Copies of this chain bind each other. A is one copy, B any other.
Amino acid sequence: MNNFTFHNPTRIYFGKGQIQQLGEAVPQTGSTLILYGGGSIKRNGVYDQVKRALGDRTVLEFGGIEPNPTYETLMQAVTLARSRGVTFLLAVGGGSVLDGTKFVAAAIPFAGDPWDLLSKKVKPEQALPLAAVLTLPATGSEMNPVAVISRTSTREKLPLSSPLLYPRFSILDPETTFSLPPRQVANGIVDAFTHVVEQYLTYPAEAPLQDRMAESILQTLIEIGPQTLADPTDYDARATLVWCSTMALNGIIGCGVPHDWATHRIGHELTALYGIDHARTLAVILPSLWHIQRDGKHAKLLQYAGRVWGLSDGDEDTRIDAAIAKTAAFFEQLGIPSRLAAYGDVAPDTPATVAERLEDRDFIPLGERLDITAERVQAILSLSLTPA
Name the contact of A216 in the complex, choosing from B2, B4, B17, B209 (C-beta under 8 A).
B209
How many residues of chain A are within 8 Å of chain B by beta carbon? 43
- A217: which B residues are within 8 A, CB to CB? 209, 212
A15-35: which residues lie under 8 A (CB-CB) from chain B? 15-18
CB distance from A175 to the nearest CB of B (A): 11
Q: Are A14 and B209 in contact (CB under 8 A)?
A: no
A75-113: which residues lie under 8 A (CB-CB) from chain B? none
A311 within 8 A of B: no
- A9: which B residues are within 8 A, CB to CB? 7, 9
- A5: which B residues are within 8 A, CB to CB? 11-14
Q: Are B206 and A236 in contact (CB under 8 A)?
A: yes
Stretch with Cβ within 8 A of B (4 or more), from A240-248, A259-267, A296-304: A240-248
Q: Are A208 and B1 in contact (CB under 8 A)?
A: no
A273 within 8 A of B: no
Q: Are B255 and A243 in contact (CB under 8 A)?
A: yes
Q: Are B216 and A220 in contact (CB under 8 A)?
A: no
A28-79: which residues lie under 8 A (CB-CB) from chain B? none
- A292: which B residues are within 8 A, CB to CB? none
CB distance from A240 to the nearest CB of B (A): 6
When C-beta atoms are compared, the residue in chain B nearest to A237 turns out to be B206
When C-beta atoms are compared, the residue in chain B nearest to A223 turns out to be B208
* 19 new A-B contacts at CB < 8 Å, known A7-B11, A212-B217: A1-B236, A1-B239, A1-B243, A2-B15, A3-B14, A3-B17, A6-B11, A7-B10, A7-B169, A206-B236, A206-B239, A206-B240, A207-B236, A208-B223, A209-B244, A212-B219, A213-B213, A239-B256, A252-B252
Give me 12 A-to-B residue pairs in the complex whose CB atoms sit less than 8 angstroms apart, sorted by A's number. A3-B16, A5-B13, A6-B12, A7-B10, A7-B169, A9-B9, A206-B240, A207-B236, A207-B240, A212-B219, A216-B216, A243-B255
Residue numbers of A with Cβ under 8 A of B are 1-18, 169, 206-210, 212-213, 215-217, 219-220, 223-224, 235-236, 239-240, 243-244, 247, 252, 255-256
